[in-house]
């Protein structure tokens, strides 16, 4: 007994953890459970009925027909209880009362049948299995089986008849121990099976929830993809399309040759930034992205006029858990309106630049005529005329630079030049305007500083930087011009104590038409081309220009030009 209880204890802990989960589950199989209980009871009653009939037919002196019939009647009562009880409305543990009553029935039938049907006691195995399969703890099932079977074995001696099993005391103990062991074994199997069923139900519930969440995420993703105004394409490592939103499908068809409703990538009409040069399939953005290249704002033109569209293409590679290339996501932004606006701006700038040439030519002509008469003019007037002519020539060069920006070319002719003189002339030209603005202009550059540069272009660069320093300064501020030859590099600095540039805008100061928010708020006029021209000229000298600035404190531009 103690060993059986100890063995059953190992499964109790596991069974106890399952009781709460099992009890918490609804009983969706209530009708099936009732049917199982009724069929089990009816089957046992049929067996007992056959046993009773046999006992009555071949009974011996040790039998008791009255007890035999009483056991059979009790079995009918138990069967009636099984049939009328609403098992789906009561706890799952309740049916274990039926096998206990059946054990009593088997005891009565065995006692009534006598020694003729001594094997009737083995029928106790059926209620024992039933108890083991009930929703009770293993230890409880073993204890109930052992106790009820012990009572069954002891009933004949108690009632004064022959013992149920021969063999004395060992015979009285053997059946309860065997059936208790059978109960423990079956209960353990049932517990494990129920545990797996509970886990399976939980897994199925989690799977259903996961599927529901996945469908919700898929609907959300589809909605987002179809809502965004950017074309999106996802391809796998082999270049096969995984996903394409409606916006990209429209762009894809817009680039298709006429009459081709399902073009491949190589069939699409894709052109370079000029909108005219066809791009070979290997150089197209999607092909480059499939090859593992991450793209950033690559401009192309898709289709042919008048429906041709400008597209900005970017891509990001996908990688699996091992870091291997698994595909790429490509985005397509329609920038046609922006490109058309920029083209209109360029055309306007070119038109205005051409219009400037006529009055500038007239101004320069009259200044040249006036300077031919310089002998008849006071020295101060001649000085003013020379300054005016020099700035008119620079204005003419600026107009030419506007045209050069549109053409994408700048002409630079470096020669041996006195940079100190160029900087002095630039400072002299800016001094009058600086004084009127209440600014102090300091030229710290050496009076003579030989270097190889384009004198006109360098003068234009310094004029641009000094002009900006005056525009974006404040009354009482200071502008410092400095230069030096550091080994094989000519360094020129223009520093001011003006309004400064915000950190997030510093990297954009050399962009075409860029004007910072702080500048726009001041009302200072400008088109945002001066620094672009300045950087282009410095670049043609194989040099570099950098800027450091602190908002509200001032700005410093540094030019480095290689010498040698």
Distance separating alpha carbons of residues 209 and 222, to the nearest angstrom: 20
Its pTM stands at 0.44
- How high is the pLDDT of residue 8? 37
Helix (H, G, I), strand (E, B) or coil at 184: helix
Is residue 31 domain-shared with residue 107, that is, in the same domain?
yes
Is residue 311 domain-shared with residue 356, that is, in the same domain?
no
Distance separating alpha carbons of residues 169 and 96, to the nearest angstrom: 29
Distance separating alpha carbons of residues 58 and 449, to the nearest angstrom: 140
Using the Cα atoms of residue 392, residue 396, residue 397 and residue 401 in order, give the sign of their dihedral.
positive
Is residue 43 domain-shared with residue 190, that is, in the same domain?
yes
* Closest C-alpha to 370, from 393, 357, 378: 378
User: Residue 542: left (phi > 0), alpha (psi -120 to 50), or beta?
Assistant: left
Is residue 146 domain-shared with residue 39, that is, in the same domain?
yes
Give residues with Cβ within 8 angstroms of 28, minimum separation 6: none
Distance separating alpha carbons of residues 466 and 432, to the nearest angstrom: 12
Residue 211 lies in a domain: no
What CATH number should be reported for the domain holding residue 474? 3.30.565.10
Residue 94 lies in a domain: yes
* Closest C-alpha to 472, from 529, 416, 530, 522: 522
Distance separating alpha carbons of residues 529 and 491, to the nearest angstrom: 23
What CATH number should be reported for the domain holding residue 262? 3.30.450.20
- CA 357 to chain CA centroid, nearest Å: 56
Residue 9 tokens, joined: 């204890």
Using the Cα atoms of residue 77, residue 79, residue 83 and residue 85 in order, give the sign of their dihedral.
positive
Burial of 515 (0-12, 13-18, 19+ CB in 10 A): middle
What range does the domain containing 187 cover?
A: 2-205
The strand ranges marked E within 426-525 are 440-443, 450-453, 478-486, 489-496
Task: Give, for all 564 residues of the chain, the pLDDT tens digit.
Answer: 333 333 334 444 444 444 434 443 334 446 777 787 788 888 888 888 888 888 777 766 556 777 778 888 888 888 888 888 887 776 655 656 788 888 888 877 777 776 666 667 778 788 888 777 777 788 887 887 788 777 777 666 555 554 444 445 555 677 788 877 877 887 778 777 777 877 888 888 888 888 888 888 888 888 887 888 888 888 888 888 888 888 888 887 778 888 777 777 778 888 988 888 888 888 888 888 888 888 888 888 988 888 888 889 999 998 888 888 888 999 888 888 888 887 787 777 777 777 777 788 888 888 888 888 777 778 888 888 888 888 888 787 777 767 666 666 677 899 999 999 999 999 998 998 899 889 999 999 999 999 999 998 899 899 989 988 998 888 899 999 999 998 899 999 999 998 888 887 877 787 765 555 555 444 444 445 678 888 888 998 999 999 998 888 899 999 999 987
Residue 451 lies in a domain: yes
The secondary structure element, H or E, covering residue 259 is: none
Cβ atoms of 76 and 53 closer than 8 Å: no
Q: What are phi and psi of 61, to 5 degrees?
A: -65, -25
Is residue 180 domain-shared with residue 256, that is, in the same domain?
no
Is residue 106 domain-shared with residue 143, that is, in the same domain?
yes
Cβ atoms of 530 and 513 closer than 8 Å: no
- How high is the pLDDT of residue 483? 95
Q: Which of 317, 334, 351 is the last residue of a domain?
A: 334
Is residue 378 domain-shared with residue 466, that is, in the same domain?
no
Is residue 301 domain-shared with residue 261, that is, in the same domain?
yes
Residue 502 lies in a domain: yes
Is residue 439 domain-shared with residue 554, that is, in the same domain?
yes
Helix (H, G, I), strand (E, B) or coil at 416: strand
- Rounded (5°) CA angle 57-59-60: 150
What's the domain count of the chain? Answer: 4
- What are the angstrom distances between the C-alpha of 388 and each of 297, 371, 391, 444? 45, 11, 5, 24
Residue 282 lies in a domain: yes
Helix (H, G, I), strand (E, B) or coil at 278: strand
Residue 243 lies in a domain: yes
Residue 224 lies in a domain: no
Q: Which of 383, 407, 431 is the last residue of a domain?
A: 407
Is residue 278 domain-shared with residue 426, that is, in the same domain?
no
Distance separating alpha carbons of residues 334 and 299, to the nearest angstrom: 10
- What are the angstrom distances between the C-alpha of 201 and each of 22, 86, 191, 214, 290? 11, 25, 15, 19, 44
Residue 225 lies in a domain: no
- What are the angstrom distances between the C-alpha of 324 and each of 241, 286, 320, 492? 18, 19, 6, 49
* Closest C-alpha to 25, from 199, 267, 160: 199
What CATH number should be reported for the domain holding residue 372? 1.10.287
Q: Which of 352, 384, 407 is the last residue of a domain?
A: 407
HSE-CB of 141 using CA atoms within 13 angstroms: 34
Is residue 12 domain-shared with residue 111, that is, in the same domain?
yes
Task: Quote the radius of gyration of the chain (alpha carbons, Å).
Answer: 51
Is residue 321 domain-shared with residue 461, that is, in the same domain?
no
């Amino acid at each position: 007994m103690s060993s059986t209880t100890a063995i059953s204890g190992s499964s109790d802990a596991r069974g106890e953890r399952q009781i709460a989960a099992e009890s918490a589950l609804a009983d969706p199989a209530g009708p099936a459970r009732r049917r199982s209980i009724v069929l089990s009871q009816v089957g046992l009653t049929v067996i007992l009925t056959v046993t009773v009939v046999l006992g009555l037919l071949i009974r011996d002196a040790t039998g008791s027909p009255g007890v035999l019939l009483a056991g059979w009647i009790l079995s009918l009562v138990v069967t009636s209880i099984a049939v009328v009880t609403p098992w789906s409305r009561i706890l799952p543990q309740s049916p274990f009362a039926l096998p206990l009553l059946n054990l009593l029935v088997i005891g009565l039938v065995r006692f009534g049948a006598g020694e003729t049907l001594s094997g009737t006691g083995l029928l106790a195995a059926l209620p024992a299995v039933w108890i083991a399969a009930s929703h009770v703890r293993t230890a409880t099932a073993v204890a109930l089986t052992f106790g009820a079977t012990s009572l069954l074995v002891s009933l004949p001696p108690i009632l004064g008849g022959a013992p149920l099993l021969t063999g004395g005391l060992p015979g009285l103990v053997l059946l309860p121990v065997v059936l208790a062991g059978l109960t423990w074994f079956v209960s353990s199997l049932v517990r494990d099976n129920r545990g797996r069923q509970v886990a399976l139900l939980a897994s199925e519930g989690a799977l259903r929830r996961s599927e529901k969440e996945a469908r919700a995420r898929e609907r959300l993703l589809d909605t987002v993809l179809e809502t965004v105004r950017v074309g999106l394409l996802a391809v796998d490592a082999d270049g096969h399309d995984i996903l394409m939103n409606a916006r990209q499908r429209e762009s894809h068809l817009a680039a298709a040759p006429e009459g081709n409703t399902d073009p491949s990538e190589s069939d699409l009409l894709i052109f370079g930034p000029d909108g005219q040069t066809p791009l070979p399939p290997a150089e197209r953005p999607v092909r480059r992205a499939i090859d593992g290249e991450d793209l950033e704002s690559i401009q192309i033109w898709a289709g042919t006029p008048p429906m041709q569209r400008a597209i900005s293409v970017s891509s990001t590679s996908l990688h699996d858990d091992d870091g291997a290339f698994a595909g790429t996501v490509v985005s397509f932004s329609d920038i046609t309106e922006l490109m058309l606006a920029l083209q209109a701006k360029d055309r306007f700038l070119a038109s205005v630049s051409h219009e400037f040439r006529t009055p500038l030519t007239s101004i320069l002509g009259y200044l040249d005529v006036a300077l031919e008469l310089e002998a008849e003019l006071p020295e101060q007037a001649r000085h003013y005329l020379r300054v005016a002519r020099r700035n008119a020539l620079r204005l003419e060069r600026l107009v030419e630079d506007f045209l050069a920006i549109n053409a994408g070319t700048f002409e630079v002719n470096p020669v041996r030049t006195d940079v100190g003189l160029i900087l002095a002339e630039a400072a002299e030209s800016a001094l009058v305007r600086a004084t009127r603005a209440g600014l102090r202009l300091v030229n710290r550059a050496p009076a003579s500083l030989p270097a190889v540069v384009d004198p006109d272009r360098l003068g234009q660069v310094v004029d641009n930087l000094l002009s900006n320093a005056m525009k974006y300064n404040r009354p009482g501020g200071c502008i410092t011009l400095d230069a030096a030859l550091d080994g094989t590099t000519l360094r020129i600095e223009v520093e001011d104590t003006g309004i400064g540039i915000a950190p997030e805008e510093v990297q954009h100061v050399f962009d075409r038409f860029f004007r910072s928010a702080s500048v726009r708020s001041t009302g200072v006029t400008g088109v945002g081309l001066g620094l672009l021209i300045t950087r282009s000229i410095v670049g043609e000298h194989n040099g570099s220009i950098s800027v450091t600035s602190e908002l509200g404190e001032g700005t410093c531009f540094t030019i480095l030009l290689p010498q040698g």
